[in-house]
Structure 1
Amino acid sequence: KDLDNSNVNDLKNFFLRWYGPNNATLTVGGDVTAAQVLKYAEKYFGPIKRGPAVPVQKLPEPVLTADRYVSYEDNIRFPMLQMVFPTVPHGHPDEAALDALADVIGGGKTSLLYKNLVKTQKAVQAQAYQRNSELSGEFAMVSLNAPTTRLDSAEVIFRKTLAEFAKNGVTDAQVAQYKASTEAQLINGLASVQGKVSQLAANQTFFGNPNRLPTDLKELRALTKADLQRVFAKYIQGKHAVILSVVPKGKTEEVAAKDNYTASTANYKAPNYGYDGLKYVKAVDTFDRSKQPGAGANPVVKVPAIWQDK
């Protein structure tokens, strides 16, 4: 609906408001020097004028006073159920524990959701995940049901799965396995130049610290099963959730429960994002931006000597 209601001026204003060099992070990786990078950055980005100031945004913590059931119809064959609990944003001290909790509950073929839904052939897919965004976070359980499994039955299994975790908890071995595999993924993600610069850019953008990876590793290595049980009790156990049913078109009777919540815009007032009076200021260049820069000289690569040992 937002895209349908927008016009070309809305898109132009969005670009002018947010796409400025003061709201961007540039990372360059490869066989370069700091002096080279600064020279090219000044040439290609220096003439671009600053955009409007972008203050750090803050959102109040969401509070659910009851379970909210919502649904919609789509061109699908398999119905889907999603149960979502509000949690924490990216960088929160509980993020690592919630990530690990999601893995134990629905992260793979050894998880509780896989055992309770996929192995029993009640669902084609089932998973849990913790999504950490800049301003908010969510813990979700998702089931892509077999056509013979009702969504209300899947919801019952979701709740039984949570009760199972509450009763049995998690083992030290499960936590150790998660920590080892996650650390390996983090390290292997740095194997390529792209992986390195992406990590640096993301941490600079969201935390103002490009070298935040050691902090992430420290938090990961410090995880214990007590941490998982603590965040489960704090954010999931006995807490209200949003339960979304997605059903094939014309089959609204298959929803897990009748919708009991509709977002109201009656008292909503959109924030002033600063779109008024924006004007495009063209950069004054000393070169033609329409022409791609030519390639430099091929670097001389010193290949290590090849040796054999018998």
Structure 2
Amino acid sequence: MKRLVPLLCLLAAPAAAQQVSIPHTTFTLPNGLRVIVAEDHSAPLAAVNVWYHVGSGYERPGRTGFAHLFEHIMFEGSKNVPEGDFDNWLEAAGARNNGSTTTDRTNYYEVMPSNAVELALWLEADRMGGLLDAMSPSKLEGQRGVVKNERRQSYENQPYGLLWETASTLLYPQGHPYSWTTIGSMADLDAARLEDVNAFFRTYYAPNNASIAVVGDVDPAQVRQWAERYFGWIPRNTDVQRPTDPMPQLTATTYTTREDRVTLPELSMIWRTGKRFSQDEAALNVLADILTSGKSSRLYKRLVYDEQVAAFASAFNDANLLSGDFWMRIRARPDVDLDRMQAAVDEEIARIAQTPPSQEELERVINGRVTGFVGRLETVEGKADQLNDYLYFTGTADYAERDLARYRAVTPADVQRVAQQYLAGKNHVIISIVPQGKTELAAQENQ
């Protein structure tokens, strides 16, 4: 058993100089299940956070949407838990629970009074080891319908919802695991057979392809006993190979226009960057914040506050296991041409590429990053998910201080360099979503 020190530690210093760590113990069961335990006795609460190392990026063409489908099926009963009682028993114990799916992982979590931790672990073990004992064609059909309805609500009938599928197909070549959305296609959901779904579960929902973080008012020795008792009997499966698809480069700047039932035109500009925890990720995140984080950020102040031609401006660097994309989204005011939004973005990026931001501007953004990071660690839920995140992407849960050190090391010259290297004058995808019948508002090539 490995013990890491110290406890979440915040020195009395400026935010950018604070030292942060999440003390925890780790162990691995003989079947390959990795368990992280972090004590926090500040309140009688705890979180159980399970990561299965599978997301939509592990799927293949014709079989998309399976990881997200299981996000729903996992709540529908298992060998010793009747349908509906997973939620009922946790709610009776004062707990809440949920799950989520990304391109790279699926997670399930519970937050509860600490005296319900054993219940949560038993429930998670029962569905890890006994879900298929309770699977049936009717359960598959029911959750298939739920997911298809969610797709309609979140993508097809949601204002601007068609952005995500449009972007995926433009950013990644056909067949690349990031070329489809996590929810999958209607055709693939319709075609999914029970044997296909069961095979997916057997491959990926095994203890050696999962990790559990237990954080809060708990005793690590007791958690280990429970983990051995409830999970130890589940057999390991063949080790899962992570996707290794190469990160494709954008070979040209492309323009795409979509009409939607919206009032405000919206512009998205997306550049290819790098993978999660790659060398320039921190500087790219800082660049995004300089452009749009807070009312004094460059594009927010210019477009929303000064010129009052935009409703919002948002930039973020979406770094994942296989690739990364720098997004800029600007929603304009009614009948404002998106060419104007594009020109403003290009100008502000060019300014940073030519002249680095001031030290004061940089410190504002980095202090905000550190404050937000520490804020996420104020809850047992936030700490549990962060520990699993580090384990998945870096191979160790002990990464908090190194994570923040990346931001403390960013200089104005670094921000200038990544603006030059990844954005200014580089190929990117431009998507205009405009009100129906108003394609003239879309950003135009060779403006």
Q: What is the TM-score with the length of structure 1 in the denominator?
A: 0.77
Give deviations 1:249-273, integer Å, cap 9, x for gaps: 3433432237xxxxxxxxxxxxxxx
Answer 1 or 2: which has greater strand percent: 2
Q: Which residue of 2 aligns with 1:240?
A: 427
Of the candidates 244, 253, 269, which is equivalent to residue 58 of structure 1? 244
Instruction: Kindly report which structure 2 residues correspond to 1:40-51, keeping only aligned pairs within 5 A, or say none.
Output: 40-51=226-237
Alpha-carbon distance in structure 1 between the residues aligned to 2:239 and 2:360: 48
Unaligned runs of 5+ in 2: 1-183
- Aligned-pair CA distance for 1:186: 1.5
8 A Cα contact 2:207 2:236, kept in partner: yes
Alpha-carbon distance in structure 2 between the residues aligned to 1:88 and 1:106: 20
Q: Report SS of the residue matched to 1:233.
A: helix
Q: Report SS of the residue matched to 1:66.
A: coil
Instruction: Kindly report which structure 2 residues correspond to 1:35-114, keeping only aligned pairs within 5 A, or say none.
Output: 35-114=221-300
Q: Quick one: structure 1 residues 36 and 248, their matched pair in 2 at CA, closer, same or farther if it must change by over 3 Å?
A: same
- Aligned-pair CA distance for 1:146: 0.7
8 A Cα contact 1:98 1:231, kept in partner: yes
Give deviations 1:241-297, integer Å, cap 9, x for gaps: 100111223433432237xxxxxxxxxxxxxxxxxxxxxxxxxxxxxxxxxxxxxxx
Q: Quick one: structure 1 residues 209 and 145, their matched pair in 2 at CA, closer, same or farther if it must change by over 3 Å?
A: same
The answer as to 2:169 corresponding to 1:169 is: no
Q: Which residue of 2 aligns with 1:264?
A: none
Q: Which residue of 2 aligns with 1:123?
A: 310
8 A Cα contact 2:335 2:441, kept in partner: no
| 1:249 partner amino acid | Q
Q: Report SS of the residue matched to 1:131.
A: strand
8 A Cα contact 2:346 2:424, kept in partner: no
Q: Which residue of 1 aligns with 2:400?
A: 213
Alpha-carbon distance in structure 1 between the residues aligned to 2:288 and 2:223: 41
Q: Which residue of 2 aligns with 1:155?
A: 342
Runs of 4 or more consecutive aligned structure 1 residues displaced over 4 Å after TM superposition? none
Answer 1 or 2: which has greater helix percent: 2
8 A Cα contact 2:353 2:417, kept in partner: no
| 1:125 partner amino acid | F
Q: Report SS of the residue matched to 1:27.
A: strand
- Aligned-pair CA distance for 1:187: 1.9
Q: For this pair of structures, how many residues does the alignment match?
A: 258
The answer as to 2:187 corresponding to 1:4 is: yes
The answer as to 2:387 corresponding to 1:192 is: no
8 A Cα contact 1:116 1:161, kept in partner: no
Alpha-carbon distance in structure 1 between the residues aligned to 2:371 and 2:342: 34
Q: Report SS of the residue matched to 2:283.
A: helix
Q: Report SS of the residue matched to 2:216.
A: coil
Q: Quick one: structure 1 residues 47 and 253, their matched pair in 2 at CA, closer, same or farther if it must change by over 3 Å?
A: farther
Unaligned runs of 5+ in 1: 259-310
8 A Cα contact 1:83 1:241, kept in partner: yes
- Aligned-pair CA distance for 1:34: 2.6
Q: Quick one: structure 1 residues 17 and 247, their matched pair in 2 at CA, closer, same or farther if it must change by over 3 Å?
A: farther
Alpha-carbon distance in structure 2 between the residues aligned to 1:55 and 1:99: 29
- Aligned-pair CA distance for 1:31: 2.8
Q: Quick one: structure 1 residues 11 and 116, their matched pair in 2 at CA, closer, same or farther if it must change by over 3 Å?
A: farther
Q: Report SS of the residue matched to 1:29.
A: strand
Q: Which residue of 2 aligns with 1:15?
A: 201
| 2:308 partner amino acid | Q
Q: Which residue of 1 aligns with 2:414?
A: 227
- Aligned-pair CA distance for 1:19: 2.1
Of the candidates 362, 365, 371, which is equivalent to residue 178 of structure 1? 365
Alpha-carbon distance in structure 1 between the residues aligned to 2:224 and 2:442: 57
Q: Report SS of the residue matched to 2:416.
A: helix
Q: Which residue of 2 aligns with 1:138?
A: 325
Q: Quick one: structure 1 residues 32 and 136, their matched pair in 2 at CA, closer, same or farther if it must change by over 3 Å?
A: same
Q: Report SS of the residue matched to 2:288.
A: helix
Alpha-carbon distance in structure 2 between the residues aligned to 1:48 and 1:71: 50
- Aligned-pair CA distance for 1:137: 1.0
Instruction: Kindly report which structure 2 residues correspond to 1:264-279, keeping only aligned pairs within 5 A, or say none.
Output: none
| 2:366 partner amino acid | K
Q: Report SS of the residue matched to 2:433.
A: strand
Higher relative contact order (CA 8 A, sep 6+): 1
